[in-house]
Amino acid sequence: MKDKNQKAETTYIKALLPLHMPGPLTYIWPYDKEPPKRGTRLLLPLKNRQIIGISWGIDDSPKEGIRYREVAKVLDETPLLTEKLTRFIAWASSYYFYPLGQAMGEALPSELISARAKGAKRIARAKAGPGRSRLELLAWEEARITRFTPEQDRAISVISKDISSRAFSPILLFGVTGSGKTAVYIEACKSALKEGRGCLVMVPEIAMTAQLASRFTKAFGENVAILHSGLTPAQRRDQWWRLRMGKCKVALGTRSAIFCPINDLGLIVVDEEHDPSYKQEERFRYNARDLAVMRAKMEGATVVLGSGTPSVASFFNAKSGRYRLLELTQRPSGAVLPAVEIVDRRGRKGKGPAANKKERDEPKWLSQELRNAVEETLSRGEQVLLFLNRRGLATYVFCPACGYVFKCDECDVILTWHRRNRAVFRKKVEEDSGRAGPGLLACHYCGKALPALPVCPKCKNPTVKTSGFGTEKVAEDLVQAFAGITVARMDRDTLTSRKKMEGVLRAFRSGRIDCLVGTQMVTKGHDFPNLTLVGVIWADMSLNVPEFNASERTFHILSQVAGRAGRAKKPGRVLIQTYMPSHYSIQKAATHDFEGFYLREVELREKLGYPPFSRLINLKFSGRKKSNVELAAEKTLKFLKGLSGSGSSFSILGPVPCPKGRIKSRYRYQLLLKGKLSQIRNLTAAVDKASQSLLPGGVRLEIDVDPINFM
């Protein structure tokens, strides 16, 4: 080690810590050997503990009068992060206004970097490289494709040539559901591997990885790594290391896989590119689809955005020439798209002339048309999928005596009644004998739960009532309405682990389950040969939200869930129950008319100046004291108006309370910037820099670039 008294010879290095701070900290390099290169992990002292950080180069101008501390230990012989990957993460950090150290921390598995003392000690003791964790991938039976359609052949040829060019090439693969996009992805990966380059394939949901992983491991064997949050921390670490050490060249994962360490990346595939799950809604608010395009640009790679219902933004880019458009209009199996019927629910279940006694006795969510279709489908030995994007048994619990509504006392959210978390129902539903009480009332935002059904806290009435329904209620009603059938639920309440999720999917695919009821996770990517009927319980739910993209999201959901039906030889049928049968998103989804929907949607957005004709940045303020949050939002508005000059091509909307005005005891306001990206980014950077003077004590500012959720 160096003599600390020889100040002239002291070397200082910068290090990023996985904490909320504006930049790197400076440490003394106490060793005689060369300082570590950028991207190397270090064990560093911080206050009274040690944490894991990332070296960030030499500090040539340390400040005078500061007592710097020494690096405790170097954890990697060679940098953990490559230069390309560090540049990419740094770009993402800057674009999304997120501290670089925290971005690095979130880009790496938790077993490789930690701000906690216990985690740091464990990581510091571990050897670099994969451990002994096992990742079991179960095989799925797949229909064998004997030959490709001419459209598939053309798509494979174009993508392969672009990979060979080693130049940035963005492609939108617009293929109807069941058109064989996955087969195209696999052939494209083969082309990249022949060039000696790596591949990254991303899906929006963990539920989609099991079936896709089976196909990719069948094609590429041990050359595939899996990355998603459903793995154990040790499994994620070991899969990450396999990629970093070059032991495999194909990565398959969800949105966080965009930061995986593939060397010489030649192909990125973003399957179901329209899906909002690619956007992270907390902390590091990145959109993995958009980052995929940027990473491909930075690495000279081909990026394929695949979807049967492309996002308005991506299709706009394809139409304007920014992306190459490839289309798959046919299903290789010869199957046709399912017939879709709209069931008008207006006037039903009430006292009007459209209601009859038989309908009044049915569950509120079940129309006569859907009942008949389910009976016919089950009588043929075929399967049914019912979609409702709402969990729970009842969504509204109230006191009929005084009108009290049960809400979360930490969030402005009504509590949902849950009775059980069992995934599969085989008999008429009865209360579990081993459970105390009829379930619980839960908040889906902060996780708080109360015993159900409680006495009214306002008037002490012991008999409260419920209203509304979710997937749990639908599943219970089904086993009572249709004798002898087996029903499974697929939502976040039942699928608490990867194995449970895969178990339900495999049971449904093998025919051991007659009817699958689920939320949005059942709508995409799955292939069930004997599924011929899809029922959408309530199509209007996603339309009735205060967001500019509500119609787009509704069209995507309806089209994707409809695409699960009739993917094999048997024809499919879809019933969409709605109170808004004439809405263009529902009408166009029923006729599989994406381009018709797109033209109507972009016409409306151009009139209102919403993306893709402008860009958005949402400034979100939150705090425990409402007056302070309002003050911060108003001060920021005044600050922004002071920065804007004549001829400004942007607008400021708000500030207003968020639709969910209080979450986890924090009041929430938002202020939306709309205009040219360069201008609103400059304004946001100024706000970020001045945030200490703009924000009263206890108020937090979160910056959401390119937001898609305003709730």
Residue 311 has pLDDT above 60, yes or no: yes
Rounded Cα gap, residues 479 and 477, in angstroms: 6
CA 660/CA 238 separation, integer angstroms: 39
**What is the phi/psi pair of residue 504, to 5°?**
-65, -45
Contact 562, 340 (CB under 8 A): yes
In the 8-state DSSP scheme, what is residue 206? G
Instruction: Give start-end residues of each CATH 3.30.70.600 domain in the chain.
Output: 615-705
What CA–CA distance (Å, rounded) separates 621 from 669?
Answer: 5
Which residue type does 42 have?
A: L
Give Dmax over CA atoms of the chain in angstroms.
95
Classify strands 339-344 and 487-490 as parallel, antiparallel or unpaired. Answer: unpaired
**Greater confidence, 190 or 213?**
190
Q: Does the pLDDT at position 351 exceed 70?
A: no
For residues 304 and 325, what is the distance between their CA atoms, to the nearest angstrom?
A: 10
Q: 700 - beta bridge partners?
A: 622
What span, in angstroms and rounded, lies between the C-alpha atoms of 53 and 133?
25
Q: Is the pTM of this model over 0.85?
A: yes
At residue 304, the pLDDT reads: 98
pLDDT, tens digit (0-9, with 9 covering 90-100), for 139-169? 555 555 568 899 999 999 999 999 999 999 9
* Separation between Cα atoms, residue 465 and residue 462, nearest integer Å: 10
Identify which of 112-121, 144-153, 336-345, 601-610 has the greatest average pLDDT.
601-610
Beta bridge partners of residue 383, listed in sequence order: 531
Distance CA 378, CA 383 (A): 6
**Which tokens go with 422?**
């069992």
Q: Which pLDDT belongs to residue 32?
A: 87
Q: At what angle do helices 100-107 and 83-95 cross, to 10 degrees?
A: 120
Per-residue pLDDT band at 4 (split at 50, 70, 90) = very low
| Predicted local confidence at residue 430, as pLDDT | 35
Q: Which of 116-125, 292-301, 459-468 has the highest mean pLDDT?
A: 292-301
Residues 6+ apart with CB under 8 A from 279: 255, 285, 286, 287, 288, 706, 708, 709
What's the average model confidence in pLDDT over 169-183?
Answer: 90
pLDDT at 356: 53
- The conformation of residue 320, written as its DSSP 8-state character, comes to T
As annotated, the residues of the chain forming the CATH 3.40.50.300 domain(s) are 150-328, 337-391+470-610
Of 148-162, 255-269, 409-423, 445-459, give the lowest mean pLDDT range.
409-423
Query: Are residues 478 and 415 in contact, defined by beta-carbon separation less than 8 angstroms?
Result: no
Q: By the 8 A CB rule, do 171 and 161 touch? A: no
Q: Which one, of 667, 653, 639, 636, lies nearest residue 707 by Cα?
A: 653
Tokens standing for residue 233: 């921390």
29: alpha, beta or left? (left if phi > 0; alpha if psi -120 to 50):
beta
CA separation for the pair 497, 423 (Å, rounded): 12
Whether 400 has a pLDDT exceeding 60, the answer reads yes
- Asked whether the bond before 363 is cis by omega within 30 degrees of 0, the reply is no
What is the C-alpha separation between 450 and 413, in angstroms, rounded? 14
DSSP 275-332: -GGGB--SSS--BHHHHHHHHHHHHT-EEEEEESS--HHHHHHHHTTSSEEEEE-S-T
The reported pLDDT for the residue numbered 316 is 97
Q: At what angle do helices 150-165 and 181-194 cross, to 10 degrees?
A: 30
The domain 150-328: what is its CATH number? 3.40.50.300
CATH number of 615-705: 3.30.70.600
In angstroms, the CA 134 to CA 166 distance is: 35
Tens-place pLDDT, residues 195-212: 999 999 999 988 778 778
CA distances from 203 to 200, 269, 663 (A): 10, 9, 29
User: Do residues 423 and 492 lie in contact, with contact meaning Cβ atoms separated by under 8 Å?
Assistant: no
CA-to-CA separations, 386 to 487, 498, 532, 561, in angstroms, rounded: 10, 22, 11, 9
Report how far apart, in Å, the C-alpha atoms of 269 and of each of 293, 338, 401, 596 are. Answer: 10, 27, 57, 26
Q: In this structure, are residues 663 and 446 in contact, taking their beta carbons and an 8 Å threshold?
A: yes
**Cβ neighbours around 445 below 10 Å, total:** 16
Tell me what the mean pLDDT of segment 462-483 comes to: 86
Question: What residue ranges of the chain are covered by domains with CATH 3.40.1440.60?
Answer: 7-125
Instruction: Using DSSP, state whether 83 is helix, strand or coil.
Output: helix
* Predicted pLDDT of residue 369: 92
DSSP string, 336-364: PPPEEEEEE-TTTTSSSTT--HHHHHS-T
19, pLDDT greater than 60? yes
Instruction: Give me 498's structure tokens.
Output: 């990867």
Range with the poorest average pLDDT among 98-102, 170-174, 486-490 = 486-490
Nearest partner of 208 among 103, 330, 324, 306, judged by Cα: 306
Classify residue 563 by burial, with Cβ atoms within 10 Å: 0-12, 13-18, 19+: buried
Backbone angles phi, psi at 311, to 5 degrees: -65, 155
Is the domain spanning 7-125 CATH 3.40.1440.60? The answer is: yes
Q: State in words which class domain 337-391+470-610 has.
A: alpha beta
Does residue 540 carry a pLDDT above 80?
yes
C-alpha 698/C-alpha 553 separation (Å) is: 35
| Cβ contact 69:27 at 8 Å | yes
Please, are residues 542 and 503 in contact by the beta-carbon 8 Å criterion?
Answer: no
Reduced to 3 states, what is the DSSP secondary structure of residue 694? helix
Residue whose structure tokens are 């020439």: 321
Position with higher pLDDT, 319 vs 513: 319
| CA dist., res. 446 & res. 299, Å (int) | 40
In angstroms, the Cα distances linking 608 to 155, 202, 602, 605, 648 are: 36, 33, 10, 5, 17
- Can you read off the two tokens belonging to residue 243? 């990629």
Burial 87-115 (b: 16+ CB within 10 A, else e): ebbbebbebbbbbbbbbbbbbbbbbbbbb
